[in-house]
Copies of this chain bind each other. A is one copy, B any other.
Amino acid sequence: MGNTFGQLFRVTTFGESHGGGVGVVIDGCPPNIELSEARIQRELDRRRPGQSKIATQRKEEDRCEILSGVFGGKTLGTPIAILVRNKDARPEDYVEIAEKFRPSHADFTYEAKYGIRNWQGGGRASARETIARVAAGAVAKKVLSVLYAEFEIVAYVTQIHEVVAKINRSTVTGKENIVRCPDSVAAKKMVSLIEEIRDKGDSVGGVIECVVRGIPPGLGEPVFDKLDADLAKAMLSIPATKGFEIGSGFAATRMRGSQHNDPFEMRGGRIRAATNNSGGVQGGISNGEEIYFRVAFKPTATIAHEQKTVTSSRKQTQLAARGRHDPCVLPRAVPIVEAMAALVLCDHALRQRATAIADRGSRISE
Contacts and interface: CB of A to CB of B under 8 A. Distances in A.
Given A67-B21, A105-B282, A242-B249, A308 B263 contact: yes
Given A1-B28, A109-B218, A224 B252 contact: no
B361 A117 contact: no
A296 B205 contact: no
Question: How many protomers of this protein does the assembly include?
Answer: 4
Nearest to A28: B1
Interface in A1-54: 1-5, 7-8, 10, 12-16, 19-23, 25, 27-33
Contact of A32 (B16, B116, B206, B243): B116
A283 interface: yes
Contacts of A230: 233
Nearest to A240: B252
Nearest to A283: B106
A234 B228 CA distance: 10
A184 interface: no
A308 B245 contact: no
22 contacts: A3-B222, A4-B4, A4-B27, A8-B355, A12-B12, A13-B224, A22-B68, A31-B357, A32-B360, A78-B118, A103-B273, A110-B283, A124-B223, A205-B252, A225-B237, A233-B236, A236-B246, A243-B246, A243-B250, A248-B298, A260-B299, A353-B356
Nearest to A315: B266
A245 B296 contact: yes
Given A1-B8, A1-B221, 19 more contacts: A2-B225, A3-B27, A4-B10, A12-B25, A16-B71, A19-B67, A23-B81, A25-B25, A32-B358, A104-B262, A109-B284, A109-B287, A113-B361, A205-B254, A207-B250, A228-B236, A263-B308, A263-B309, A353-B355
A150 B128 CA distance: 36
Contacts of A111: 361, 364
Contacts of A351: 1-2, 8, 354
A217 B101 CA distance: 14
Which size class do A's interface residues fall under?
35 or more
B242 A243 contact: no
A191 interface: no
Interface-central residue, A279, A302, A310, by most chain B CB under 10 Å: A310
Contacts of A81: 14-15, 20, 23
Given A12-B79, A224-B5, A116 B255 contact: no
B32 A255 contact: no
A69 B14 contact: yes
